[in-house]
A and B are shown apart, each in its own frame.
Chain A
Amino acid sequence: MSVAAEPVAVAHASALPPRSWRLPIILAVLAVVTFVVFGLFGTDEEVRFAWSRAADAVSLDPSPASPRVIGLIFGALALLASGFALWSAWNRRKVGVWVMLIVGIAFLVSLVAWVGAGGSVPVVFLLTGAIGLSTAIVFGALAGVIGERAGIVNIAIEGQLLGGAFTSAIVASTTGSYILALLAAMVTGALISMVLAVFSIRYLVDQVIVGVVLIGLVTAITNFFYSAALAPNSGALNNPGTLDRIRIPLLADIPVLGPVLFDQRLTTYLMFVLVPLTWFVLFKTKWGLRVRALGEHPLAADTVGIKVNRWRFWAVTIAGLVAGLGGASLTIGSVGAFVREMSAGQGFIALAAVILGRWNPFYAALAALLFGFASNFRIWAGQAGSALPPDLIAMTPYVVTILAVALVAGRVVGPKAAGKPYLKE
């Protein structure tokens, strides 16, 4: 007896699987741009990296550097990394996440140095700003991850951010309690989730449709009350102020990292905690195991006695609590007042972050941070006297989102059952 498949396979080993070149090529293009544009054709005008702010306890001297040298060094690094990616692709191996990180960071550092040429780069401002502008997106992305892992695509995150922002502003203004305001925002997010869940689970309405309708409804309701109540009495109803910054002793004095990570508002700390917590619950606990089963194969979950629709309902509701927090971070965590339609597409950017982050809380938070950085970069680049008109710079985060989704989206596979209602009989 002989097994036939083996000799057949050996005899015609010439035909090999196709190589996937897309990602390595994207990385290579980025690396070449870094090396050539910021390096070879870069500017020699000195740039100073300011590591600390005037008020910081430990003050570091700014480091002067030549943008061209930075471009050359980081460009070379990026070229090496992308060369490795090309080599991996040639050998039909997967390109690791760390390769993308190296190329991405090299590109960003060189870009920042290039833009900041002839002036200084406020590193702390760039990083804190990025975190500040990405907070709501991170919360939204976490909510998206939880929902989609459980099989419910939550387009309404945009509405949950807006609703959370709205109620937290009102509650903080009227009660003066930020804790109540945070709770109110969470409840708002959860209520919107419940409507989404009831319509998609019970009435089998397409999840994207309910999501979009809910966004429209939340927008209309907040706009209505803004005109009817908030605008005429902004002092009493829309004057919440912001959460205090909480300095963590000692840690906050670490140069660069201290002010970025340990001198933040409560909402930011909650974000720092929720990212690993969400990951832990999803991947290390029995609840997480069940939730992930719902998104992959709900019938299999049903056959082992997990009540699919009940679990989905509560998973999305909990996700709503998280998204609501994101809304609070927009008002009492940042601006200090509610503004019409202030979520400005961040809920959708969060959805993009979910996809880029491959439905993993850590990667999704990283992707959200990238969008936050893009937003903050546009602010700084505007101040640094960029030649581009502000109207065009305003597009940056949206263009980045489209590029990111278009370059990465088709490659990744999400939970299989996400978006499909589960119906017995």
Chain B
Amino acid sequence: MTTTVPETSPAPDRPGWREVLHDIAAGSAIRTVLAVVLSLAIASVFIVFTNEGVQSTLGYFFSRPGDFFQAAGSALGDAYAALFRGAIYNTRADSFASGIKPLTESLRFAGPLIAAGLGIALTFRSGLFNIGGQGQLLMGAIWSAWAAFQLHLPYGIHLIVAMIFGFVGAGLWAGIAGFLKAKTGAHEVIVTIMLNYIAVSLATYLMRTPVLHDMDSGSNPTTRPPDPTAVFPRLLGDGYELRWSFVLCVIAVGVFWWLMERSPLGFRLRMVGLNPDAARAAGVNVSRMTIVAMVLSGLFVGLAGINQSLGRDGNFAPQIDAGIGFDAITVALLGGSRALGVLFAGLLFGALKAAGPTMQLADVPPEILGVIQGLIVLFIAAPPLVRAIFRFLPTPREVTVVGTGRKPALEQKGGE
């Protein structure tokens, strides 16, 4: 039935901070925290039962259960202590300068996650799915790497030129999926995934040829190291790996915010994402927006690729993606596809990634961090589930908006 009674509930005067505050009050921030807690709890079970010390106590669990809990406790304690030492502050370091290094490492890992997360978020807001972060990142990395050692330019200019190459490579690669979607209707999920595999093959091939490879340095596929003129300088001095590229990733957050919330282009992208029919009727060229959205997304992901290739002094192999392309999807979802959300989600997952090596030293396979990441996003995606587990949370007013900033497209209900 058509509503004939005007809506009377007061609306906030301006969107923005008040909405954010309301969201926090309605439990979305609390929910995020609880989702993280819940995920850590489940991951703990994984850690406990794969820990060798714990397994040995299971053999005599019923005669001496205390041993089991002690072993489980110490396994978890070790694991989370390692997580803290690897991601925030190394308590075993002899000085503050080296103790704080893990935090800078977390930031270093967060940079590309934030940039790529913004790229994925942009497609979500535009009504598309870009699962091809891996391929786009790889393209950004190898194009910029090529410019970084094949061209020889002065300081500053070289870096900028290499970056432009990276952006072009990643943007074009993402553009393929956008073009195919717009012109043939090929589903972008399938196409972007396939382009990931193709990009890996292509990059591996090129890393065996003189295009990217130093033919005197063995047959393993690697690039040549970049000229020092094309490498991002270190941000905090030689003691830390963190480079200026991180600052670019943070700037990208601002660019993304302005683009989506303030620019006419972002307005049209959001329009297409929320209601493509209305966008078409309002004179927006939806196919063109599809291509534009994918290319823009590729540019943000490309920044992550540039970060990977020019944020180092040495060469790299086809595995340079390091899962960032896929993790970016979870970053975008956790961040609700909003600029600030992606920033914080990227920082969180960057910290988890940075902790990998120390976790490994503590005998916990770092793959557990992927499990945590997946679980967090799964719980975030379904607020009612988290509420069902933690009963005290308030009920929100709206139907679920899953991390994409869009509502689910519901099957049309008849009878008006």
Contact = CB atoms under 8 A, between A and B. Distances in A.
Direct touching of A and B (C-beta under 8 Å): yes
Contact of A206 (B193, B370, B404): B404
Nearest to A200: B408
Nearest to B47: A228
A422 B412 CA distance: 8
Interface in B177-209: 180, 184-187, 189-191, 193-198, 201-202, 204-205, 208
Interface string A224-251: 1111110000000000000000000000
B326 A351 contact: no
B11 interface: no
Contacts of B409: 419-420
A193 to B, nearest CB: 15
Contacts of A389: 205, 208
A212 B414 contact: no
B370 A209 contact: no
Contact of A417 (B368, B399, B411, B414): B411
Given A210-B381, A345-B194, A299 B412 contact: yes
Interface string B358-393: 000000010110110111011001111100000000
Interface in A301-349: 344-345, 348-349
Contact of A406 (B180, B189, B413): B180
A370 to B, nearest CB: 15
A199 B208 contact: no
Interface residues of A, number: 58
B371 A228 contact: no
Interface string A214-232: 1011011101111111000
A213 interface: yes
Interface string B224-258: 00000000000000000000000000000000000
A228 B382 CA distance: 29
B180 A217 contact: no
Contacts of A105: none
Contacts of A422: 410-411
A261 interface: no
B201 A395 contact: yes
B179 to A, nearest CB: 9
Contacts of B173: none
Given A205-B400, A220-B371, A299 B408 contact: no
A391 B185 CA distance: 29
B198 A399 contact: yes
A281 interface: no
Contacts of B400: 203-205
B87 to A, nearest CB: 18
A417 B410 CA distance: 9
Contact of A391 (B204, B375, B381): B204
Nearest to A352: B190
Nearest to B375: A217
Nearest to A219: B370
B371 A221 contact: yes
Contact of B186 (A227, A391, A409): A409
A398 interface: yes
B50 A204 contact: no
Contacts of A402: 180, 186, 190-191, 194-195, 198
A421 B191 contact: no
Interface string B297-326: 000000000000000000000000000001
A359 to B, nearest CB: 14
Contact of A213 (B189, B367, B381): B381
A377 to B, nearest CB: 16
Contacts of A420: 408-411
A195 B377 CA distance: 14
A221 B49 CA distance: 13
A407 B197 CA distance: 20
Contact of A410 (B186, B384, B408): B186
A405 B385 contact: no
Contact of B184 (A212, A214, A409, A417): A409
A410 B197 contact: no
A204 B365 contact: no
B365 A227 contact: yes
A229 B49 CA distance: 10
Given A216-B374, A229-B50, A423-B413, A206 B402 contact: yes
A401 interface: yes
Given A224-B367, A395-B197, A155 B189 contact: yes
Nearest to A423: B410
B174 to A, nearest CB: 14
A6 to B, nearest CB: 34
B375 A299 contact: no
Given A212-B129, A395-B197, A406-B186, A228 B50 contact: yes
B333 interface: yes
Nearest to A404: B186
Interface centre among B197, B205, B208 (most CB of A within 10 A): B197
Contacts of A406: 180, 184, 186, 191
Q: Which 9 A-B pairs have the closest CB atoms?
A: A410-B185, A220-B370, A217-B374, A391-B205, A227-B365, A203-B382, A224-B367, A228-B50, A223-B367
23 contacts: A195-B378, A202-B384, A204-B400, A206-B406, A210-B381, A212-B129, A214-B374, A216-B370, A223-B367, A224-B365, A299-B414, A345-B194, A348-B189, A355-B190, A395-B197, A398-B198, A402-B194, A406-B184, A417-B411, A419-B409, A420-B410, A421-B411, A423-B411
